[in-house]
Amino acid sequence: MIYYLSQQLLDAAHGSDWEPRLSFLRLFKYITVRSAGAAMTSLFLSWWFGPNIIRWLKAQKFGQEYADKAEAAGVSQTRLDKKGTPTMGGLLIVVSLVVSTMLWAQWNAQVELTMLSVLVLAGLGFYDDYAKILKQSGGGTPPRVKLVTQLALATFVGIYLWNLPARSELFLVTTKQVWHSNLVSVLMLPFYKYPIHIGAVLGVLIVILAIMGSSNAVNLTDGLDGLAIGCTLITGFVFLIFTYLAGNVTAAKYLQIPYVPGAGELTVFCSALIGAGLGFLWFNCHPAQVFMGDTGSLALGGAFGIVAVLIHQPFVLVIAGGVFVAEAVSVILQKGWFKFTRLRTGTGQRIFLMAPLHHHFEKKGWYESQVVMRFYILCVLCAVLALATLKLR
């Protein structure tokens, strides 16, 4: 909105005495300026709305009064102090993110698809959180409903991208050729600079796995104060860089990564996400005043999935979001091994003391703050490795 308004004012002032006075509005053409504006706007919106939203959630009694699985398993007695802390804090993130992106981004297909995913998944998460509060149990929305909704959204995005004309190109220095493709039928692998043609069907499947997997992985990571949002900020910084490079033809050509016209506007979105995340962390750091809930975790995870797809880097997300992947894999392994051993021996066995992985370390005696900070360190290492894929190929 700010971009379009600034350009209209410049056009109206062209040739008049006002043109030199309004020349500063040309700054809003630059993605870097608008990205900085988006980050600051979402951060201040989070700080501004945060106390009011927390008070409203408390007034509506949108708090967790029931014992969660970690508390029931005796992970930490300090969890007793968290009863009554309002959930659905993801509303603060989503509102700040959406408003800031609307103000600072140029709207195109990439931004619209990303925002659609965020809003749909936030709505799904809100419904799930609300169901948990009504039941005062960890049940919430049936897993089948959540998976079907995520699958429908991801399938729509995949098919939409399949039907788009060529939206990306890669200049291959070694062959002096320019490769053109849509965002689905060709795959880019980390540490390998040549495109792999996989066809539309497999491409759509990868889109579905990226969006659903990322959404649920972030959701599983949300279990300790500041853990999920801190890792989200680190991963978001990686995609801030990747989206900027993917949308800059000169940088993309130099690094031999796919150039995606319009992807630079996703940099504005990632900046807004980082600002909103920092603002939320202000209230979510230990001891948390508000929990993110599925409202935020499903939306943020889905956002990462679709942004990675839109710049041809779904497998970089696996590296950058290594902590999220480890959390999700720990749950899959735990459940799979328990069911397998129960079928074979009649008694289910566990690999970890408790899943997701952060609870395993709590059961081993780590303090909550230790788990969070050490997972932050691991997430930074994953981020560095993901950024290294830009040159190590």
pLDDT in tens, 129-145: 888 887 765 566 788 88
The kind and range of the H/E element at 171 are strand 168-172
In a domain, 9, yes or no: no
Structure tokens given for 326: 């480890």
| Total number of domains constituting the chain | 1
In a domain, 107, yes or no: yes
In a domain, 19, yes or no: no
* Residue partners of 156: CB distance under 8 A and separation at least 6: none
Residue 111 backbone phi and psi in degrees, to 5: -65, -40
Res 16 pLDDT > 90: no
pLDDT in tens, 228-268: 999 999 999 999 999 999 999 999 989 988 899 999 999 99
pLDDT number for residue 4: 74
Res 382 pLDDT > 90: yes
In a domain, 315, yes or no: yes
Determine how many CB atoms are found less than 10 A away from the CB of residue 148.
11
Determine how many CB atoms are found less than 10 A away from the CB of residue 18.
13
What proportion of the chain, given as a percentage, has pLDDT over 70? 90
Structure tokens given for 353: 């003391």
The kind and range of the H/E element at 169 are strand 168-172
pLDDT number for residue 24: 72
What domain range includes position 341? 32-388
In a domain, 278, yes or no: yes
In a domain, 363, yes or no: yes
What proportion of the chain, given as a percentage, has pLDDT over 90? 64
Alpha helices in the chain (DSSP H): 2-13, 31-59, 69-72, 90-104, 109-135, 143-163, 200-221, 227-246, 249-255, 264-284, 293-310, 314-320, 322-345, 357-363, 368-388
Structure tokens given for 367: 């303090």
Q: Do 235 and 383 touch, CB atoms closer than 8 A?
A: yes
Res 71 pLDDT > 70: no
In a domain, 111, yes or no: yes
What single string gives the DSSP state of each residue in 268-320? HHHHHHHHHHHHHHHHHSSSPSS--HHHHHHHHHHHHHHHHHHTT-HHHHHHH
In a domain, 154, yes or no: yes
Q: Do 22 and 10 touch, CB atoms closer than 8 A?
A: yes
pLDDT in tens, 294-336: 999 999 999 999 999 999 999 999 999 999 999 999 999 999 9
